[in-house]
Structure 1
């Protein structure tokens, strides 16, 4: 689980109490200071981190600046300023061996951080990266897909602390998928469909959840699997008609017509695991359309309108790939039932009937 420490050393004294209160309230993992008195009254749920040149007799986690590799055996936690090849190697050695390694990078490139993350992979300790702001924190937490275990940020005020806490909560929880049984496939004639091209590769059992009704979605397959007459496009989902809902992060939906470069969608696999993906392009074109009507074991009707072509695919139980033009009544698909209705994409407990 990712975590954050906040650094009090540069927080203005006028804001310090509010920042500490925000850290406690939002369950920030640790507070860093160079004055032990600022840490003494923190609750036991927060790690008290003291920056010091030499160890002190206190219950604080003491971080010492590490300058030479021969000091590693005398430390459990260290701070390394990475500015060249020597200090990069020092940071890697520390991350491999110490309980906590805090690293700061002089240059804006993330290549040195990638090298430290790779060196520390599988090590029992935790890597904490110093970040300048919330934007950099979001990047650092995802570098090499693994990211730094934690970030250390000096907030300007209490609002920065709350925003940092929310950033750590953006891990994508799993969804409970259901098995839908196809009832009918209807050919509709011409309509506008949207292909969603993401900035990431889909895995073979992944797609996105799309539906005509906000109450239910079908797992639409990516073009990861080979197709005749055309190359695979493992970043693409031929997703459905422009009016359709697509499920995104934080249980929010968008119409397919609303997606733009930079929008977010959820990749969902056959077991319900999810991850947030960035849309690189949404491509709308007129094509013949068909409607799949299916029903859940709870008797909820789920509808999906997609391009009427054999190469458009949806996923069934176990990640089985199904061509939409070959679907028959009784076939099984993977889907998701939303527990709430929607208003401007947000879940809300109100009466709503869609047909």
Structure 2
């Protein structure tokens, strides 16, 4: 599970208390400071990380004068930490100490052994060349936490560390210089960094980070829909959605004529007789149709385009976020499929009238839309919310 540590050392002093309160309220995983007294005031719901003398994690571009608790201010507890002793100040959960050589790394690893000083020790390293990159890989394998500041903007060094530490029990924490980089770091090699070290400028930054950490996609409870009619409705405009991801064989996107119900439209992952598979594509439906995206928000297919985010949905209800590369709007003969749920609710879908357009049935069964018959069962999703500009709203709304 990904997490974030809030670094207080570069927070402007006027914002410091608000940032501390926000970090506690938003349940950030940890707070990092060189001030043991400050850390001692924090509740045990956060990991209190004391920075030992000489450990600097300042991101390039920050003004040294912005520090809230100066890097050269090291209290007695921090000096004892440097000497490998457990700090006497209460409320310290973890020491963060810099290492630049294998010998220093070995000393940090020794401190975490049962015979060590008692307080767990994390390591910090700046990666700027091949030697420090290899040393960071060793740290990620040996320490409970390894904080890495990558000097270069490329994420290749992070990929190398993630691959090297795949089997490690310790956690990798990457220093980031903003929320945008945090989102990228969490996605590198799909697994991403376990955690990030982030310096907010205000409490608003902390809450924005909390929203980023919570940005997961839900497990959906899919319903069985029974086909009651299929009819040819003539020429219209339909949308093919081409994503930047491969779909699994039992995945697609949810599409429906009404915001109250959707049918699981299959991707072109399965072989076709006259064309190659396109496992990134869903021949989704007519341009008026709703499709379900992240955060329980719908969009018309006519609104979907490059950079849009949708939900890929599996036959078991699992979901994941996918990014749209492009959408293709073309005029084609259309087919209307009307179904009903167990509670009698009408769920309608209008798609291209062609054999290669497919929907999914229970168990991930692939069904060609032109071969559907009354009584066939499809997979769908029933929404309880009405919609206004794609957002759920509690108002009367009837769609026919």
Is the TM value for this pair above 0.5? yes
Which of 307, 314, 339 pairs up with 1:262? 307
Which of 241, 254, 257 pairs up with 1:196? 241
Which of 328, 338, 345 pairs up with 2:390? 345
Match of 2:142 in 1: 97
Match of 2:375 in 1: 330
Task: Give the distance between the partners of 2:166 and 2:217, measured in 1 at CA.
Answer: 22
CA shift digits 1:219-247 (9 cap, x unpaired): 11111111111111111100000000000
How many matched pairs? 355
Which of 99, 102, 106 pairs up with 1:69? 102
Task: Give the distance between the partners of 1:151 and 1:172, measured in 2 at CA.
Answer: 21
Match of 1:210 in 2: 255
State whether structure 2 residue 25 is matched by structure 1 residue 25: yes
Match of 2:61 in 1: none
1:147 CA displacement: 0.6
Match of 2:45 in 1: 45
Which of 169, 182, 197 pairs up with 1:152? 197
Match of 1:9 in 2: 9
Give the TM-score, by structure 1 length.
0.98
1:122 CA displacement: 3.0
Task: Give the distance between the partners of 1:298 and 1:146, measured in 2 at CA.
Answer: 40
Which of 212, 218, 222 pairs up with 1:177? 222
State whether structure 2 residue 264 is matched by structure 1 residue 225: no
Task: Give the distance between the partners of 2:241 and 2:36, measured in 1 at CA.
Answer: 53
Unaligned segments of structure 1, at least 5 residues: none
Match of 2:324 in 1: 279
State the secondary structure of the residue aligned to 2:182: helix
State the secondary structure of the residue aligned to 2:50: strand
Which of 131, 154, 162 pairs up with 1:86? 131
Task: Give the distance between the partners of 1:225 and 1:123, measured in 2 at CA.
Answer: 38
Give the TM-score, by structure 2 length.
0.87
State the secondary structure of the residue aligned to 1:39: helix
1:332 CA displacement: 1.1
1:90 CA displacement: 1.2
CA shift digits 1:107-159 (9 cap, x unpaired): 01000001111122232211111100000000001111111111111011111
Match of 2:59 in 1: none
Q: CA RMSD in A?
A: 1.1
Task: Give the distance between the partners of 2:319 and 2:277, measured in 1 at CA.
Answer: 22
1:331 CA displacement: 1.0
Task: Give the distance between the partners of 1:117 and 1:219, measured in 2 at CA.
Answer: 35
Task: Give the distance between the partners of 2:329 and 2:130, measured in 1 at CA.
Answer: 48
Give structure 1 regions of 4+ aligned residues with deviation exceeding 6 angstroms: none
1:165 CA displacement: 0.5
Task: Give the distance between the partners of 2:221 and 2:161, measured in 1 at CA.
Answer: 36
State the secondary structure of the residue aligned to 1:116: helix
Task: Give the distance between the partners of 1:69 and 1:185, measured in 2 at CA.
Answer: 70
State the secondary structure of the residue aligned to 2:164: helix
1:300 CA displacement: 1.3
